[in-house]
Structure 1
């Protein structure tokens, strides 16, 4: 544990912070005065980010109990938890479902969120004004063809987060779910196993959001006073009406 982290007055934890929304959110929260602990598997990227924002980089694989335990044990206090780690694998109809893809999506999006949240919840409560922000997706609100693995995982992740809201009534913890639509990050690159052309095609012909757009919204949520709970924010680019409809699909 660094001396800066040990002495920090306000600590924010961001999972899946090696790129995209997680990295952008870490920068926003650091600018708001939080000491930001960034976690992900790609430690080289995390270290560069932590050096940039004056935060702390810790290796984290949310699918592994031991990794989550080591990560959360190293965090002395937690005022804000950003559950951002997640992702999609594949785009196949249910009839052709790849069970390994489904297992990865449920382990990462659902059980990963559960592991980290459960471990840090006592510290969030002890902070006196904790905030849990879970980044789900518009896929947590609707379904789309060939996306059952991802949409089912995101629905389950959202159910976990929303169940915590009434369970924590009377505790000094707020909960906000962020449901983004199309955001151009490494999301599609991961979904399509590194196929850059296929990933680029998802966003061609329209203007998607970028990671900074979502991070700014999370920063707004984090800046609200303790008595204000923003339960859910659904945010899409102008060119997208739903998970099924955008200016390309009509």
Structure 2
């Protein structure tokens, strides 16, 4: 597959190729090294095993001055613009030496991502924290359930706008997401998530909600036109 992909990347003027789901210390890491890849980021994997979860951890009050809003599928028009702003807060998440950059979000991009999820048959659930004073979404978490794996929830982005950090909004939206998902989807046995190893705050938030840590993954990178180890 790598041999097939590299010519297409060269044609598009790409300089590097990355893989993000290599479990550290496995044959995959050794293969990547043999192909000229180097580690550029460590990714912590965590999962919430619902049968063993202490659900009292999800009894998290909403901080004063905020309220929660949730939906499945499309964001309400009233918060669409601020949802794009919250998603842009992912730019503050550290990426190590990775060449990847988080996308720039706009209302149109939010709608396109929602349409893509629908096309894939994903059940896309979102919980946001809304600032009462402005009516804007300022914190967000998203979990998707795939129709072929109804026993798994896949945690996607969680973000809080910089001006509203330090008030427990990340933990609040994640805790309410877990309770909402399990109330309506009791067959979900696990919720999985990944976080950059240097994002200590989000790793701690996940633990507070009940996630346990699994063996780490690494992101690996190599030049598309290497001077050594040609593929």
TM range (shorter): 0.3 to 0.5
Counting strand residues as a fraction of each chain, which structure ranks higher?
Answer: 2
Structure with bigger helix share is 1
Under a length normalisation based on structure 2, what TM-score does the superposition of the two structures give?
0.33
TM-score under structure 1 length normalisation: 0.31
Between Structure 1 and Structure 2, whose CA radius of gyration is higher? 2
